[in-house]
Amino acid sequence: MTCADSSNSAAPCAAGLILAINGADERLQLALGRLPDVEGGGEGGGEGGEAELLASQEWTVPGQAVRFLAPNIRHMLDSLGLRAGELRRIACVHGPGSFTGLRMSLALAEGLAAGLACANGAQLAGINHLALLAHEAAELGAGAVLALAWSRRGQVYAQAFQGEAELTGPLVAHLAELPQLLAALPRPLLLLGGGLRRNLPALQALAEADPGLRLLPKGWDAPRPQTLLTLAGRAAFGPGPLSPLYLRASDAEDNLAGIAAGRGLSEAEAKAILARGSRSLS
């Protein structure tokens, strides 16, 4: 979608549209909504009340976000007779989670916002994946919540919440470290997310030994579209860029020496190439 595609001859609607993107886990999610009053607010989220959900789409397509994101944003807008130029806010889950999914979704959010800048100056915001996972469970009022996202290599991304309050910051933990983490948290304690599902036997064993732990079923592994849109509407928006929330080095970084050797490079040469590619263009 280019600026020409997103231009709209009619005056921009006061309500405006908000788009939320989640590519942090296996389930890729898009949610499109309308904010009641964007014009009257500032740069922050939540202007004028709760966003109205207009459309949402979900796919379980690990590693294939690039094939689904942009075409289906266009499809949602076209199906509703809307223009990309009506987008005022674009929120994207910025981690922690799948490195590939985060890169693809964040790149799309920033590219789309840049393309719309000539039309209406679309604003960007990041959403914490773990806070998103915990939000609905926290509303149950049944105790503290520990959100777990899959991190591969016998690890999980984890963060604990009590209602809206953070009990811990986002962290990465090996499975062997979980008993110590759990022991420091209040009971009852609800556990949920893809990190739970991927390590279910180990966490079931911990729950069997601790009646204060409750493992939520698979339906809690990903947020509902309305929850994604709600947290998007409350996010702090600005001109960007969006910074990914990476809590550990990627597999490619950890295996850089082997990857470089396969391409006839030394590790130092590979690091120099990466450093050149990471330099700011400003």
The verdict on residue 195 lying in a domain is yes
The verdict on residue 282 lying in a domain is no
Residues 112 and 206 in one domain: no
Given 198, 220, 242, which residue is the final one in a domain? 220
- Distances from the Cα of 236 to the Cαs of 92, 188, 261, in angstroms? 12, 31, 43
Neighbours of 245 (CB within 10 A): 19
Residues 118 and 140 in one domain: no
The verdict on residue 173 lying in a domain is yes
CA dihedral 62→129→210→199, nearest 10 degrees, is 20
Give per-residue pLDDT as tens, 12-55. 344 699 999 999 998 999 999 998 864 444 444 444 478 999 99
Residues 51 and 122 in one domain: yes
Joined together, the tokens standing for residue 199 give 């390590």
The verdict on residue 174 lying in a domain is yes
Nearest-angstrom CA–CA distance, 150 and 71? 27
Give per-residue pLDDT as tens, 234-245. 999 999 899 999
Return the CATH number at 90.
Answer: 3.30.420.40
The verdict on residue 244 lying in a domain is no
The verdict on residue 245 lying in a domain is no
The total number of structural domains in the chain stands at 3
Residues 28 and 95 in one domain: yes
- pLDDT(279) > 60: no
Give per-residue pLDDT as tens, 64-84. 777 899 999 999 999 999 999
Per the structure, the complete domain to which residue 256 belongs is given by: 250-276
The verdict on residue 240 lying in a domain is no
Residues 160 and 108 in one domain: no
**Model-level pTM?**
0.83
